[in-house]
Amino acid sequence: MGRAWVKRWKPSGRGEKGSYIEVLEVDNKASIGQIHWSLPPSKSHAIRWLALAAQSNQQITFHNMQYAGKDVISMRRCLIQMGVNITDLDLNGEALPNLPNVDLNPHPESVAWQVQGCGPNGLKAPISVLHAGNSGTALRLLMALCARFDVPIMLDGDASLRSRDYSSMIDTLHQFRVESSHGEGAEMLPLLVQGPWKCPERLNINTEKSSQPTSAWLIASPALPSDLHLSLDGDAVSRRHASLTGDMCESLGCNPVSNDILKPWEPVFSQIDLHMPPDCSMLAFAMLASKVVGVPVEMAMLPLDEDSLGHEVLMQRAKDLGMNLDTNTISSMEAHAPSTYDLRDANDLITPLSALLALSGGGEIIGAAHAAYKETNRLKHTQTLLAAFGIKSTSIEGGLSIPGGQSLTSPKELVETYHDHRMQMTAIVLAMGCDQKVVIEGANLHAVADPYAVQRWIDVGVDAKVNLHQHW
């Protein structure tokens, strides 16, 4: 496959004299008494269930979708491009009209999505680019789902997604004898793939950097052209996410993953109404908010431990973090001693958790070496972000050491967030504890996971607005 189509560009625009970037300016002079907080639906659950429902022969309704972030919406959009019919429902369960929008976004009044499955072999090759936005999970699942097509399919994403490493996933495509062509150097997108796939004697997956290639092939397995022997190599990370995928597939009729063999199968849902759990990883920002502002945060709903994918450590060890969790109310308390957190299965917490440790009893984060392969190198850039707010931390093997009892200082310059929504969302919360205006790179990055991350502060009187900023 040729490379003539690969267009070179600078995703950030840096290095171009006179470039302006969108920023969020936060100036907190409000007197805040209490904060009400609704967690968005878990994108890990929603993205996987959407892909499986699309391959069933049933009509499945997804509930609790009103706060869905752009990552989930990106997966929805790409499935629609592949021939899946998705209907928006209102609070009364009535179908909402389709709105004329090229982005195939949900209706603004939608609280539930009704997915009409196409069957294991019913997905159609899209006629336009599949754009996964910021979602690495959606992109890898789409790579696997597109391996069945005998025509070229182009996949792309935003600047952050373009800069990430997909070598493990691309290696598995090649094992299926799927052709691929992609950008060179720092960018691995756009990616062009062309099947049809042919099962290797054994599919070898490296699990040391990410669990997503394993999840991708499990979810694409209903349409396998033949039986597939599976070999998972290396010291696995994000094991809870891989287990989530396996449990989902097995609950719908897939051969048990522990047998190391996948067979073609048809997803059959025993329950046609799926209620998406809240995203527990987002609870870290609510806890940090209570610590920074010093007021209670009232949660609309908390996730169950079994739905929290390793992030339940926030609830189980709240007191170690200097937080009190009383039913659905979070409040700040004193933390008396440093504590250690192993994020092998929960590396998404590294940035907000590091900030929380600094403002409470301090401690260490370990087991997070694979955080270097996320939207940005979160190990390195968490230190840089915290330093912008006067917070000290030290790099240790696979993690960070953070002294406790620290205080915030107002950043003197633009706070860089490296196209990473969790960096930006941490910066937004830390800005609430600063006595001067804080300028944060990436005005709308939060919408990837939590569309209301800024609005909830505006609702309690904080001055937060989008502006253009010339950094150099």
pLDDT digits (tens, 9 = 90+) for 159-178: 889 988 888 999 999 999 99
Question: Is residue 1 included in any domain, yes or no?
Answer: no
Burial of 357 by CB count in 10 Å (0-12 exposed, 13-18 middle, 19+ buried)?
buried
Note whether 259 and 283 are same-domain residues.
Answer: no
pTM summary value: 0.92
Q: 333 vs 33, 319, 321, CA distance in Å? A: 16, 8, 9
Note whether 36 and 51 are same-domain residues.
Answer: no
Do 366 and 399 contact (CB within 8 A), yes or no?
Answer: yes
Spatial distance between the Cα atoms of 55 and 49, rounded to a whole number of angstroms: 10
| Total domain count, the chain | 2
The domain boundary, picked from 215, 247, 275, lies at 275
Note whether 31 and 67 are same-domain residues.
Answer: no
Question: Is residue 306 included in any domain, yes or no?
Answer: yes
Note whether 217 and 69 are same-domain residues.
Answer: yes
Best CA proximity match to 51, nearest among 199, 211, 216: 216
Note whether 351 and 235 are same-domain residues.
Answer: no
Spatial distance between the Cα atoms of 305 and 316, rounded to a whole number of angstroms: 9
Question: Is residue 9 included in any domain, yes or no?
Answer: no
Note whether 285 and 174 are same-domain residues.
Answer: no
Note whether 57 and 199 are same-domain residues.
Answer: yes
Question: Is residue 258 included in any domain, yes or no?
Answer: yes
Question: Is residue 3 included in any domain, yes or no?
Answer: no
Question: Is residue 445 included in any domain, yes or no?
Answer: yes
Question: Is residue 458 included in any domain, yes or no?
Answer: yes
pLDDT of residue 159: 87
pLDDT of residue 12: 45
Do 87 and 104 contact (CB within 8 A), yes or no?
Answer: no
The domain boundary, picked from 210, 244, 275, lies at 275
pLDDT of residue 79: 99
Strand order, beta sheet including 297-299: 35-37, 297-299, 329-332, 323-326
Note whether 111 and 208 are same-domain residues.
Answer: yes
Note whether 330 and 249 are same-domain residues.
Answer: no
Note whether 67 and 211 are same-domain residues.
Answer: yes
Domain with 246 in it: 43-275
pLDDT of residue 336: 78
Q: 445 vs 43, 130, 260, 448, 450, CA distance in Å? A: 15, 20, 39, 6, 9
Torsion angles phi and psi, residue 325, rounded to 5? -115, 105
Site of tokens 């937080």 = 323
Note whether 261 and 336 are same-domain residues.
Answer: no
Note whether 269 and 284 are same-domain residues.
Answer: no
The domain boundary, picked from 275, 302, 332, lies at 275
Question: Is residue 2 included in any domain, yes or no?
Answer: no
Q: What is the CATH number of the domain that holds 173?
A: 3.65.10.10
Task: Please list the ranges in the chain whose pLDDT falls under 70.
Answer: 1-18, 236-238, 370-376, 471-472
